[in-house]
Amino acid sequence: MYQNLIYEVKDGIAYVTVNRPKAMNALSNEVLDELYAAFTAVNNDPEVQIAILTGEGKAFVAGADISEMVNLTTLEGRAMMIKGQNVMNLIETIDKPVIGAINGFALGGGCELAMACDMRIASEKAKFGQPEVNLGIIPGFGGTQRLPRLVGKGMGKYLIMTAEMIDAQEAYRIGLVEKVVPAEELIGAAEKVAKTIMSKAPIAIQAAKLVINNGIGLDILTGVAFEGEALVAPFSSEDRAEGMKAFLEKRPAKFNNK
């Protein structure tokens, strides 16, 4: 089904692996189309509770495919940027959590892809950067917006304007990734986080993602009001009754995770 991705589902986890190692997993138009299809499948599959996104080989994704972009007209370039933005927006807003397992180079569109994930676990070998100004352009898949929101406006400007590439430890220090692990432990660490999240009430996880994503740009009072409205669905659910009963009975909760 996919020419540039490996897609598999196991025990409620969808594994999405960008698989163009000879091109450092660069984001061509075809790869973008396949990523959109894959994460649409993640969202629509009742057997999937969470996704792990990673790359094959030395790169997570080393950027957009410059060999494809170099001859694009302005209108064609804009169309590709919109396609890339649509992919990142989809990953960020699907109902289910997405963990980025950053195995290697995450540059340009690759860094933007990582930032679209709900959280990022990085291999010690990972490298991050937004080098677009070296090419005479700016990040076009959401990088100018997501990077400052993650690391702060000043650091976001610094990384975009200098095109500096940083290692995993620096990415962790500035808040670009949530955890750094040895390369051989990367997928296992991502699976551990995934299984922890999967053990929680699914309706609560979905509501938390929705409220955080949509509330972060609001003023605090509006955001808190939005949180209160979003709490209604989990509070009226069977999972809430089970979770509170289990707490009082000092036993693990048994949520409806399907």
Task: Give strand pairing partners of 14.
Answer: 9, 51
Query: How far apart, in whole angstroms, are the C-alpha atoms of residue 164 and residue 131?
Result: 7
CB-based contact 62:107 (threshold 8 Å):
yes
Cα torsion 152, 154, 159, 163: sign = positive
Query: How far apart, in whole angstroms, are the C-alpha atoms of residue 35 and residue 107?
Result: 17
State yes or no: is 92 an active-site residue. Answer: no
- Residue 77 identity (one-letter amino acid): G
Nearest C-alpha neighbor of 84 from the set 25, 37, 141: 141
- Which is catalytic among the residues 34, 92, 112, 170? 112
CB-based contact 209:159 (threshold 8 Å):
no
State yes or no: is 132 an active-site residue. Answer: yes
Query: How far apart, in whole angstroms, are the C-alpha atoms of residue 145 and residue 168?
Result: 21
Residues 6 or more apart whose CB falls under 8 angstroms from that of 149 comprise 156, 216
Query: How far apart, in whole angstroms, are the C-alpha atoms of residue 22 and residue 28?
Result: 13
Query: How far apart, in whole angstroms, are the C-alpha atoms of residue 223 and residue 24?
Result: 40
Query: How far apart, in whole angstroms, are the C-alpha atoms of residue 46 and residue 32?
Result: 23
Query: How far apart, in whole angstroms, are the C-alpha atoms of residue 212 and residue 227?
Result: 9
- Which is catalytic among the residues 132, 178, 229, 249? 132
Q: Which residues are catalytic?
A: 112, 132
